[in-house]
Amino acid sequence: MADTDSGSATRLTNTHTPTFGLASGPVTEVHAFWLAGMSCDGCSIAAVGAEHPTVEQLVSGSIPGLPKVVLHHPVLDVEAGEAFIAPYRLAREGKLGAPYVVIYEGSVADERIAAHYGGYWSAMGANIGADGSHQPIPTAIWLKDLAPGAAAMIAIGTCATWGGVPAAAGNVTGSMGVMDFLGKDYLSTLGLPVINIPGCSPVGDNFTETVAAVLMFLAGVGPLPAFDELGRPAWMFKDTVHRGCVRAGSYEEGVFAQNYGDTECLVELGCWGPVVQCNMVSRGAIGHAGGCMNTGGICIGCTMPGFPDAFAPFYKAPPGKTLSGNTSRAVGSFIRPLRRISQRKGNLSPRWARTGFVPSGWGHVEMPGPVMRAAHYFYKKLQYSGQFTPASARQQSLQADGHKFIGEVKRHIEQQDGLKP
């Protein structure tokens, strides 16, 4: 249907999208309550940098089929003070009158520890006492209160998913991830456990894409996205970052960087990519650009539940690289020269191979010597075994057959058109 209110005859909005059988009617608007625990706000920065889709597209309801997101964010909201907190209170009391999701950034600290000393770890808004005093409300309390009524609970970033840096050994905060805080039996009103989008910071697109997929499910226009056993979007986190790495070819050939700035595989400088589930290098950090190994940085395992302790000390090669790296080195030392032989051949045009000369003004190109030519000969035999080689008698005969056939068809058409007797 056309959006006549806006004066546009063609623009589609979610309010005009056909809806699909939710008993309570179409979901056209979903509130998103953002809570920040023990966080550096990096996840917020990552989210607002996302491009597919953008936060702006989500909050403007400009993606057909998706409910419009009414975002309540402590930094991005235009409201402040009590006007900002009021919708949180309404949701907590079950008076919001619209479905909502909760997005938690940062880890959940054990507020009992801080309360024991009369303080708090992270809070938002305040309860006002009878004497007018303000008692900050820990975001852990908001999380506990809002969780039962949430249509979906999304943990963004490694601190919120698994605990992350604030939960590292030696911390004094008792920090944990949202899943640990809410417990194994937690289910949202839609029956979903906690959805986890790890990363420090996460790829922004991983977050907005997951939100969009969940909203489609919420609106009844899409299936429940595939999540793995830890609640991660399976299509983003099932593979290791190593598999999509731009340097994986040099790992396979056993060539390793020895210094930062080298272009080869970084495993000997401490890269944990072969075991870390992440799509950073294939997706890029932001706008499909950047991403750890793309820009020369090692993988320190920041998407993994064991991070950071399981991957420390950073910048020290993982013990496993001794076996796998040396195996690659041994295989690569044999494979690499063979590939160079094929490469030499692939770098010659048929004319250059025939004339024995490359007319390049950029430099002298040495032609293959007798040994290399012999290697090419046998390689070609293998390459074309069971087939015909270009310019062979067999190919020329097939070509002649083809030309003959086309000539006959052409004659037939001309006869039909009366052009030829």
The footprint of ligand SF4 (CB under 6 A) covers: 241-242, 245, 247-248, 251, 265-267, 271, 273-274, 293, 299
CB of 310 to ligand SF4, least distance (A): 16
Angstrom distance (rounded) from CA 331 to CA 198: 35
Contact 198, 157 (CB under 8 A): yes
Tell me the residue nearest to ligand SF4 as measured from the CB: 273
CB of 284 to ligand SF4, least distance (A): 14
CB of 322 to ligand SF4, least distance (A): 13
CB of 242 to ligand SF4, least distance (A): 4
Residue 412: CA count within 13 A, CB half-sphere: 6
Of 167 and 292, nearer to ligand SF4 (C-beta) is 292
Angstrom distance (rounded) from CA 286 to CA 211: 17
Of 214 and 276, nearer to ligand SF4 (C-beta) is 276
CB of 250 to ligand SF4, least distance (A): 7
Angstrom distance (rounded) from CA 157 to CA 139: 16
Angstrom distance (rounded) from CA 67 to CA 70: 9
Of 153 and 267, nearer to ligand SF4 (C-beta) is 267
Angstrom distance (rounded) from CA 133 to CA 131: 6
Residue that the structure tokens 């975001």 belong to: 139
Of 145 and 239, nearer to ligand SF4 (C-beta) is 239
Q: What is the bridge-based pairing of β-strands 123-128 and 134-138? A: antiparallel
DSSP state of 64: T
Which amino acid belongs to residue 161? T
Residue 247: C-alpha distances to residues 211, 255, 294 (Å)? 31, 10, 8
CB of 278 to ligand SF4, least distance (A): 9
CB of 306 to ligand SF4, least distance (A): 17
Question: Which SS3 state, helix, strand or coil, does residue 126 take?
Answer: strand
Of 225 and 301, nearer to ligand SF4 (C-beta) is 301
Residue that the structure tokens 């993994």 belong to: 304
CB of 336 to ligand SF4, least distance (A): 16
Of 140 and 271, nearer to ligand SF4 (C-beta) is 271
Angstrom distance (rounded) from CA 157 to CA 108: 12
Residue 27: C-alpha distances to residues 22, 68, 98 (Å)? 8, 9, 9
Of 81 and 313, nearer to ligand SF4 (C-beta) is 313
Nearest to 79 by CA among 34, 134, 140, 130: 34
Here the tokens at position 129 are 């006492």
Of 144 and 243, nearer to ligand SF4 (C-beta) is 243
CB of 293 to ligand SF4, least distance (A): 4
DSSP state of 241: G
Of 173 and 250, nearer to ligand SF4 (C-beta) is 250
Of 155 and 248, nearer to ligand SF4 (C-beta) is 248
Report the first-to-last Cα separation within the chain, whole angstroms: 60
CB of 268 to ligand SF4, least distance (A): 9
Angstrom distance (rounded) from CA 278 to CA 316: 20
